[in-house]
Amino acid sequence: MEFIKPGINLNIIGKRYIAFAFSAILMLVSIGSLIIHRGPNYGIDFAGGTIVQIKCEKPVTIENIKVGLAELGLEGSAVQQFGEKDDNEFLVHTNQTLITDKGFSEQIKTSVETATGAGIEIRRIEMVGPQVGKDLQEKALFALFYTLLFITIYISGRFELKWMLSAVMALALIGAVYFFTIFEVSIPFLIAVALVVTLILFWQLRLKYAMGAVVALLHDVTITIGIFSILNIEFTLPIIAALLTIIGYSLNDTIIVYDRIRENLKRYNRLPIDEIINKSINETLSRTILTSLTTLVVLFCLFSFGGDIIHDFSLAMIVGIIVGTYSSVYVASPILLMLQDESVSGGVAGAAG
């Protein structure tokens, strides 16, 4: 099955500056939203607090539920519809860490029933302490950071045979991050600085393939988080799982293109580097699009029929697959051309060999 005929020659590299501008706009909007909202809308996993899921025997208004909660001193609690409207189920999210024993459940039940005039069933109560939430935030950031570093070792070793150089650099960065955590430096700030330093080192050490792959992955993660921030969707542990999955998927796409570039650099070593890269992208375009489309079909089914528990996870995956496919074609590969030393014909070929 082929959506794209063999021998197609789209001028993808020629449109790279338009693609870079488009990506820059998306990333600036994403970062701007995160700044305005002071970070992602952390769910209970990261922010701490208590979630109560209630089911009403007949339709009620969110305002009446809030009145009942206010009588218990839970003013300002967020109440949202859960599931289908006809289910009459609601999630109550409060930043307070409450005692979740049977007596507390009965208090909520009685107070909300009085305010709404409807029978109430307490489906579940979940509590996460603030320290636990903070620890989970830090572990999630470290997971993303270490994933990107280990990817750089693999990419540099596989495509540029610089295993030792990339490993030493990664270990030095990990050591530096660990050292500064002892002095209780802000983890988000510390990891952001470490990633910037990593990109600068890639540039200076001419680790072209790793630079392209990591920039593309940062591009994917930033835009996915930004869209969640714009839509004000809660950022939970399943979303971290989705981000790590997106990183793996996008990297796989990038490696397929990189492999073809490496092969073509040896096969067509007399051609200009921009033509070789463009040819390689076109040759893998059909496989890239088919793989993404089949994955998206499954994800749209999960999004539509998987229920509320998996709804946000599937949304993150859909956004990530679309952005990741785009970045593999229009971000990761064109960066190789940007970093290519124009004075040395076929310089990337030497690195790939």
Reduce the secondary structure of 269-281 to three states and give it as a string: CCCCHHHHHHHHH
| Nearest to 215, CA basis, from 189, 190, 237, 195 | 195
176 in a structural domain: yes
> Do 253 and 184 share a structural domain?
yes
The answer to whether residue 6 sits within a structural domain is no
Sheet of strand 89-94, all strands in order from the earlier edge strand to the far edge: 78-82, 89-94, 49-56, 120-128
pLDDT band of 76, cuts 50, 70, 90: low
| CB distance 52 to 100 below 8 Å | no
Strand partners, 128: 49
Boundary residue ending a domain (69, 102, 128) = 128
Q: Which of 75-79, 196-200, 316-320, 332-336 has the highest mean pLDDT?
A: 316-320
Residue 222 confidence (pLDDT):
92
290 and 343 assigned to the same domain: yes
In this predicted structure, the answer to whether residue 296 has a pLDDT above a threshold of 90 is yes
CATH number (domain holding residue 56): 3.30.70.3400
User: Same domain for 35 and 77?
Assistant: no
Q: Which residues constitute the domain of residue 348?
A: 13-43+132-352
Asked if residue 347 has pLDDT above 50, the reply is: no
Reduce the DSSP state of residue 183 to 3 states and report it: coil
pLDDT band at 343 (very low <50, low <70, confident <90, very high): very low
- List pLDDT tens digits, range 194-222: 888 888 888 888 888 888 888 999 999 99
Q: Whole-prediction pTM value?
A: 0.79
What pLDDT score was predicted for residue 318?
Answer: 94
Residue 342, pLDDT > 60, answer no
Contact 323, 29 (CB under 8 A): no
- Domain boundary at 81, 103, 128, which? 128
Indicate the number of domains in the chain.
2
Last-in-domain residue among 88, 110, 128: 128
Q: How many CB atoms lie within 10 A of CB 93?
A: 17
Considering the domain architecture, whether residues 315 and 260 belong to the same structural domain is answered as: yes
Quote the pLDDT of residue 348. Answer: 43
> Does residue 62 share a domain with residue 28?
no
349 confidence band (pLDDT: 50, 70, 90): very low
Phi, psi of 255 (to 5 degrees): -65, -40
